[in-house]
Structure 1
Amino acid sequence: MKKIVSVAMAAAMAAALAGCGGAASSSAPASSAAASAADSAAAKTYTVGICQLVQHEALDAATQGFKDALTAKLGDAVKFDEQNASGDSANCATIVNGFVSNNVDLIMANATAPLQAAAQATATIPVLGTSVTDYATALDISDWTGTVGNNISGTSDLAPLDQQAAMIQELFPDAKNVGLLYCSAEPNSVYQCDVMEGYLTDMGFTVSRYAFTDTNDVTSVSQTAADASDVIYIPTDNTAASNTEAIANVVLPAKVPVVAGEEGICSGCGVATLSISYYDLGYATGEMAVKILTEGADVSAMPVQYAPNVTKKYNAANCEALGLTIPDDYTAIG
Structure 2
Amino acid sequence: MRKILLLAAASLALSTAAYAQTVKVSVTAIVEHPALDAVRDGVRDGLGEAGYKEGENLEFTYESAQGNTATAAQIAREFVGNNPNVIVPISTPSAQAVAAATREIPIVFSAVTDPVAAGLVKSNDEPGANVTGVSDLSPIADHVALIKELVPDVKSIGFVYNPGEANSVVLLNLFKEAAEAQGVSVVEAPANKSADVQAAARSAVGKVQALYVPTDNTIVSALESLIRVAEENDIPLISGDTDSVERGALASVGFNYYEVGKETAEVVVRILKGEEPAKIPVTFASGTNLVVNRKAAEGMGVELPQAVIDRASKVIE
Fold similarity call, TM over 0.5: yes
Shift of 1:42: 4.3
1:105 maps to 85
With over 3 angstroms needed to count, the CA separation of the structure-2 counterparts of 1:84 and 1:252, relative to structure 1, is same
With over 3 angstroms needed to count, the CA separation of the structure-2 counterparts of 1:34 and 1:90, relative to structure 1, is same
Instruction: Say whether 1:164 aligns with 2:143.
Output: yes
Q: 1:48 aligns with which of 25, 33, 50?
A: 25
Instruction: Say whether 1:69 aligns with 2:46.
Output: yes
Three-state SS of the structure 2 residue aligned to 1:273 is: strand
Contact 1:211 1:221 in 2 (8 A): yes
Contact 2:120 2:131 in 1 (8 A): no
Contact 1:226 1:232 in 2 (8 A): no
Contact 1:159 1:310 in 2 (8 A): no
With over 3 angstroms needed to count, the CA separation of the structure-2 counterparts of 1:47 and 1:203, relative to structure 1, is same
With over 3 angstroms needed to count, the CA separation of the structure-2 counterparts of 1:155 and 1:333, relative to structure 1, is farther
2:4 maps to none
Q: 1:199 aligns with which of 166, 178, 188?
A: 178
Answer with 166-175 or 184-193: which moved more.
Answer: 166-175
* Greater fraction helix: 1
1:125 maps to 105
2:165 maps to 186
Contact 2:236 2:302 in 1 (8 A): no
Please show how residues 1-334 of structure 1 align to structure 2 within 5 Å: 37-38=14-15, 40-73=17-50, 74-75=52-53, 76-139=56-119, 144-294=123-273, 296-321=274-299, 322-326=301-305, 327=308, 328-330=310-312, 331-333=314-316
Aligned length: 305
Shift of 1:248: 1.2
Using the alignment, how far apart are the partners of 2:184 and 2:296 within structure 1?
23
With over 3 angstroms needed to count, the CA separation of the structure-2 counterparts of 1:146 and 1:233, relative to structure 1, is farther
Contact 2:294 2:304 in 1 (8 A): no
With over 3 angstroms needed to count, the CA separation of the structure-2 counterparts of 1:39 and 1:230, relative to structure 1, is closer
Using the alignment, how far apart are the partners of 1:38 and 1:244 within structure 2?
49
Contact 2:143 2:253 in 1 (8 A): yes
Shift of 1:161: 1.4
Q: Percent identity of the aligned residues?
A: 30
Answer with 109-118 or 144-153: which moved more.
Answer: 144-153
Name the amino acid aligned to 1:325: L
Using the alignment, how far apart are the partners of 1:209 and 1:134 within structure 2?
20
Shift of 1:182: 0.8
1:61-107 residue CA offsets vs partner (Å, 9 max, x unmatched): 10001011112222321111211111111111111111111111110
With over 3 angstroms needed to count, the CA separation of the structure-2 counterparts of 1:31 and 1:243, relative to structure 1, is closer
Using the alignment, how far apart are the partners of 1:285 and 1:160 within structure 2?
19
Query: TM-score scaled by structure 1?
Result: 0.85
Contact 2:124 2:282 in 1 (8 A): no
Shift of 1:279: 0.5
Name the amino acid aligned to 1:209: E
- Unpaired runs of 5+ residues, structure 1, are 1-29
Using the alignment, how far apart are the partners of 2:284 and 2:124 within structure 1?
14
Three-state SS of the structure 1 residue aligned to 2:211 is: strand
- Unpaired runs of 5+ residues, structure 2, are 1-6
Contact 2:127 2:277 in 1 (8 A): no
RMSD of aligned Cα (Å): 2.3
Answer with 263-272 or 220-229: which moved more.
Answer: 263-272
Shift of 1:176: 1.3
Using the alignment, how far apart are the partners of 1:193 and 1:42 within structure 2?
45
Three-state SS of the structure 2 residue aligned to 1:323 is: coil
Shift of 1:40: 4.4
Query: TM-score scaled by structure 2?
Result: 0.89
Three-state SS of the structure 2 residue aligned to 1:184 is: coil
1:23 maps to none
1:269-310 residue CA offsets vs partner (Å, 9 max, x unmatched): 42110121100000011111111102x112111111122210
Contact 1:267 1:315 in 2 (8 A): yes
Shift of 1:113: 1.1
Shift of 1:145: 4.2
Using the alignment, how far apart are the partners of 2:281 and 2:294 within structure 1?
37
